[in-house]
Amino acid sequence: MTMQPDLIIRPLTAQDEAEWRTLWCAYLEYYETSVPEDVYVSTFARLLGDDPLDFNGLVAELDGKLVGLTHYLFHRHAWKIENTCYLQDLYADPDVRGRGVGRALINGVYGAADAAGAPAVYWLTQDFNKAGRMLYDKVGVLTPFIKYQRP
């Protein structure tokens, strides 16, 4: 892996909407899904909101262009006093994969969680996400939990 010395991890801003949308669409496409227009609008507004229930966004910028994103949120946990951080979405443009963008975004979420007093950070991924899982095995611990959801 080659780290990019000029890689910037920063909070998402209103001016990032077009590039964010391109990245998020590519992320959703990877998982063979899409969302209606009103969800794009709502999600972006929530990412910029100040409601504690809203989620947060970080972007990776390289040479003035957005090349990655992550969305995360904080929530209470019945087994802990501190909030927990859920890293919901993580995406790096395929052209920059292997250069530390994903790791830098995860570290950005770790830093935000530390600043918010939420020591636990967790995320989910598809079992077929082999490239992502190679990174996750280096920056996280695989748990034995299996996800179920309402049909």
Tokens 């395929």 locate to 94
* CATH code of domain 8-139: 3.40.630.30
pLDDT at 8: 97
SS3 of 79-121: CCCCCEEEEEEEEECHHHCCCCHHHHHHHHHHHHHHHCCCCEE
pLDDT value at residue 147: 87
For residue 121, the SS3 value is: strand
**pLDDT per residue as tens digits for the range 43-68:** 999 999 999 889 999 999 999 999 99
**Ranges of each domain in the chain:** 8-139
What are the tens digits of pLDDT across the range 81-126?
999 999 999 999 999 999 999 999 999 999 999 999 999 999 999 8
